[in-house]
Amino acid sequence: MDDTATSTNLGETTIDVALAERGYHVVIGEDLLASAAGRLKALLPGARFAVVSDSNVAPLHMGPLKESLEQYGLFLGSAVVAPGEASKSFPVLAKLCETLLDLGVERGDCVIALGGGVVGDLAGFAASILRRGVRVVQVPTSLLAQVDSAIGGKTGIDTSQGKNLIGTFHQPNLVLADVDVLSTLSEREFRAGYAEVAKYGLLGDAPFFVWLEQNWQGVFADETGKRRHAVETSARAKVGIVVADEREESGTRALLNLGHTFGHALEAFAGYSDRLLHGEAISIGMRLAFTYSVERDLCTPDDAARAEAHFKAVGLPTDIATIPGDKPTPGELLRLMAQDKKVAGGKLVLVLVKGIGQAFIEHDVSMEQMTDFLKRECARR
Ligand code: NAD
């Protein structure tokens, strides 16, 4: 464990995303927004900036960023979308692109995505197609966005067929993660983002999972250094995976989808609504991935029990039965899972585990096997 866990003078941490001409830095620190413009001017000389946010985040955090950009004469204006997954849609994307053009965004300018994963994915996508591609700086404000979605250049929107089925790879020029802004996040959203933090331990870093088992309360309570340590360790893990497999070609990047094939199906079933947040769906999905791995004799029941116990301890859901309202049938879930981008030749491709910290890609999951499993899980109370 590095010493950031206990240090009180944390300063700034810079993680290098070494992708040659598409390389950039992830900067993690406190109070970064009010001084952002100087950094941006030095990084992108000549560019002006349009800020995209949502109507929850804008009133809380746009002010210091806007003032900073105005001081340098670099502020083009802002576009504010409705909060929530529903904004990752063609109609909102179209309107956003037109607003950015109306603001005068030119080829050499830059879009700033100030918000959670929804704003990051949507604004990143808009930037990638506007004038055949303008630059984007990600300023993630949710825990999920700081540890995951703002890093790695995946952008996109949803359709009725499923999540993130339309999108691009468009690496940002900078990721500016100000951990101070997490203090305004609701506890439920923080907890949902924490599912992705735990995911890094479960997929490839067993010592980090042990640290989380021992320190999660400090991460939630923002005890000195603990929240920062969790954000940094997760961001480093994400960067490592993105650098190893930028466009999800070798399979390494697909490991980030631990729990996501199940989770995305559950989210689609719940209508991408407050009924089930992304992180909550992923939490149930990861528990299902562990249980399924045990059924296939890949993982010990003890490791699966530890993962489940940790989710329960932090208050994350682990069962399909806990989704409020009507429940999916096994057939519905399987149909939604079959929309997954990883489906190949009619077979499901799943991220499974050989234990805590040992995820791998399984290409041989038959629909029949999965139907039996889902029947049992849908009946589980
Ligand atoms: P989100 O963007 O909807 O944010 C969650 C909620 O918190 C929203 O209501 C938002 O307005 C609010 N919020 C955000 N920051 C806040 C702050 N500091 N204070 C107060 N409220 C704040 O959702 P999310 O969980 O951040 O992201 C989920 C999205 O990310 C999904 O669409 C998912 O598909 C996507 N995602 C993308 C990637 C990727 O690699 N591109 C990876 C993982 C997830």
Q: What are phi and psi of 75, to 5 degrees?
A: -90, 115
Going by pLDDT thresholds of 50, 70 and 90, the confidence category of residue 277 is very high
**Ligand 1 atom with the shortest distance to the CA of 181:** 18
- Specify whether the backbone of 269 is left (phi greater than 0), alpha (psi in -120 to 50) or beta: alpha
Q: What's the pLDDT score for residue 343?
A: 67
Of the residues 159, 180, 278, which should be mutated to test ligand 1's pocket, given the most ligand atoms within 8 Å of the CB? 278
**Ligand 1 atom with the shortest distance to the CA of 54:** 11
pLDDT, one tens digit per residue, over 155-211 is 999 988 778 889 999 999 999 999 999 999 999 999 999 999 999 999 999 999 999
Tokens of 107: 């080829």
Mean pLDDT of 119-132: 98
CA of 71 to the centre of ligand 1 (A): 29
pLDDT, one tens digit per residue, over 85-97 is 889 999 999 999 9
332: annotated active-site residue: no
Could you write out the DSSP letters of every residue in 119-147? HHHHHHHHHHHGGG--EEEEEE-SHHIII
363: annotated active-site residue: no
310: annotated active-site residue: no
Contacts 24+ apart (CB under 8 A), 147-150: 147/193, 147/196, 147/197, 147/200, 147/230, 147/231, 147/234, 147/235, 147/238, 148/117, 148/196, 148/234, 148/238, 148/256, 149/116, 149/117, 149/120, 149/121, 150/26, 150/113, 150/117, 150/120, 150/175, 150/177
- Read off the pTM: 0.94
Burial 334-372 (b: 16+ CB within 10 A, else e): bebbbbbbbeeeebbbbbbbebbbbbbebeebeeeebee
228: annotated active-site residue: no
Q: Is the pLDDT reported for residue 5 higher than 80?
A: no
Helix, strand and coil in the chain, % to nearest 5: 50, 15, 30
Residue 171 CB–ligand 1 contact under 6 Å? no
Going by pLDDT thresholds of 50, 70 and 90, the confidence category of residue 243 is very high
Q: Whose CA is nearest to atom 30 of ligand 1?
A: 117
Q: Whose CA is nearest to atom 3 of ligand 1?
A: 84
Average predicted confidence (pLDDT) for the chain: 93
Residue 199 CB–ligand 1 contact under 6 Å? no
Q: Whose CA is nearest to atom 40 of ligand 1?
A: 149
Residue 86 CB–ligand 1 contact under 6 Å? no
C-alpha separations of 287 from 230, 247, 282 in Å: 21, 27, 8
21: annotated active-site residue: no
Q: Is the pLDDT reported for residue 2 higher than 50?
A: no
Could you give the domains of the chain?
Answer: 5-183 (3.40.50.1970), 187-379 (1.20.1090.10)
Q: What's the pLDDT score for residue 7?
A: 36
**Ligand 1 atom with the shortest distance to the CA of 154:** 41
Query: Which residues on neighbouring strands pair with residue 332, listed in sequence order?
Result: none
**Amino acid at site 301:** P
170: annotated active-site residue: no
